[in-house]
Structures are given as C-alpha cells and as structure tokens.
A and B are shown apart, each in its own frame.
Chain A
C-alpha cells in the first residue's frame, strides 16, 4: 500500500522568505511522486513530478522538490515566496509499476504568505 504524509496543515511565511512544504511517502515499490497546487475556488494543477529520472525536480512558478529515498521524502521548496503562492498544496504518490490504478493524495498544506 502507498501513502503520503504532509507535515503541517498550515504554513505561514513572509513574502521573500523560503517556502518549505514537507511530504513523506510510504510505498512498497519505487514510486512516482507529484505536487499539486490548488488556488482558491479552482481545481488542482500539477506543479511538478518525480518519475525516477533526476532526483531534483524543477516545476512551475519557481518551485522545486528533491526525492530522497533514504529519507522517503519529497519536500517542496521555493527560495523566495510571493503573495501569489498563497494556495493549498497536495503531495501525491503512485507506484511505478503494478496494478494500482490511482494516485494517493496527502491531506494538503495551506500556505499563507504575509507582507
């Protein structure tokens, strides 16, 4: 079985500060990992994905995430937060192979950006 745990349901940072959103996964096989962003009253948009190529993955809007197998982590970072980054962020996992037919999502982290 696969699962993801997002540490911290709410994260608040100042504009210009580092953004760090944590995600740890549990999977019996090597996984694919994803970060999605949801802006208010919108659907989820793909930020970035890890599909077993480079461990450091760059996404849209200046976000990146690093796959660390030894720590079973896939934390999302951005060097400098902007007001427009305020949103809810979801980590998701799926296996590379096998018969499972769906992504498993974390419970989400709401990012607040203050002046």
Chain B
C-alpha cells in the first residue's frame, strides 16, 4: 500500500549514543517533515524538506540533523542522544506546498533515551 513508512518503530538508546531514523514514501511527494510529539505539546516540527537535496530547520532543530539524498527518503539523525529527546517521532509528506491534501503521516517511532 502506498504511504509513509518509518523504521524502526521502537528504540531504546543510552545517553550519548547515535542513531538514524528512516522515513520512506512512495507517493512521489516533494515535501517531507519530521515532527516530535510530546504529551501536552502537540506536534513540533524538527526539520523539513521541500525537495530532493534540500533541508530546512523547523521549530525544534537542536540536537538533530537530516538528509534528503533521494526524493523518497528523509533521514533524521541524533548524533549524541539525550534524555530530553525521548519522544515519539513522526514523519509526514505532502505532494507540494499547496497542502490541498494535507499531510500523509507515518505510524511513528517511539524513542526512549536512558
């Protein structure tokens, strides 16, 4: 089925470890996003991309890096994980910047940093 696939679904990291979250979409969408969701705070945008090879900072970019080497993939990296990065991470994509169809979301990655 077409959609947005996130891997892994769950991960436990120790403080200081690094990891990469992968987001893949097969809808030929131009725009892709990484959000984190924390209780009572809704969704906060970490980074986003408006096309292959482009990235931009969102609301809470510190401690994260991203890459969009291929149009269908958007990677989120944590170089040195901290307990404050314990969260549920969602990837989303949209066809273009007009948002006529909103976003398509992945099912999330639950990350715990101990």
Chain A positions within 8 Å of B, measured between CB atoms, are: 9, 32, 34, 36, 41-46, 49, 51, 90, 92, 94, 99-103, 105-108
User: A101 touching B42 by the CB < 8 A rule?
Assistant: no
User: A102 touching B102 by the CB < 8 A rule?
Assistant: no
Residues of A with C-beta under 8 A to B105: 36, 43-45
Bound CA span A45–B108, Å: 12
Number of interface residues of B (CB under 8 A): 25
User: B42 touching A105 by the CB < 8 A rule?
Assistant: yes
> Which of B100, B102, B103, B105 gathers most chain A CB within 10 Å?
B102
User: B103 touching A103 by the CB < 8 A rule?
Assistant: yes
User: A43 touching B99 by the CB < 8 A rule?
Assistant: no
Residues of A with C-beta under 8 A to B31: 101
20 sample A-B contacts, Cβ–Cβ < 8 Å, listed by A number: A9-B40, A36-B105, A41-B108, A43-B106, A43-B107, A44-B92, A45-B105, A46-B101, A49-B102, A90-B43, A92-B102, A100-B97, A101-B31, A102-B48, A103-B99, A105-B35, A106-B42, A107-B41, A107-B42, A108-B42
User: B107 touching A42 by the CB < 8 A rule?
Assistant: yes
User: B45 touching A102 by the CB < 8 A rule?
Assistant: yes
Q: How far is the CB of A101 from chain B (nearest CB, A)?
A: 5
Given A46-B103, A102-B48; 10 other pairs, CB 8 A cutoff: A32-B100, A36-B102, A44-B43, A46-B101, A90-B42, A100-B97, A101-B31, A101-B50, A105-B42, A107-B42
User: A101 touching B40 by the CB < 8 A rule?
Assistant: no
Residues of B with C-beta under 8 A to A90: 42-43
Q: How far is the CB of B1 from chain A (nearest CB, A)?
A: 13
Among all A-B residue pairs, the 3 with the closest Cβ atoms: A107-B42, A43-B105, A94-B99
B58 an interface residue at 8 Å Cβ cutoff?
A: yes
Residues of A with C-beta under 8 A to B101: 46, 49
Bound CA span A105–B36, Å: 12
User: A34 touching B56 by the CB < 8 A rule?
Assistant: no
B74 an interface residue at 8 Å Cβ cutoff?
A: no
Bound CA span A18–B35, Å: 32
Bound CA span A43–B107, Å: 4
Bound CA span A101–B45, Å: 11
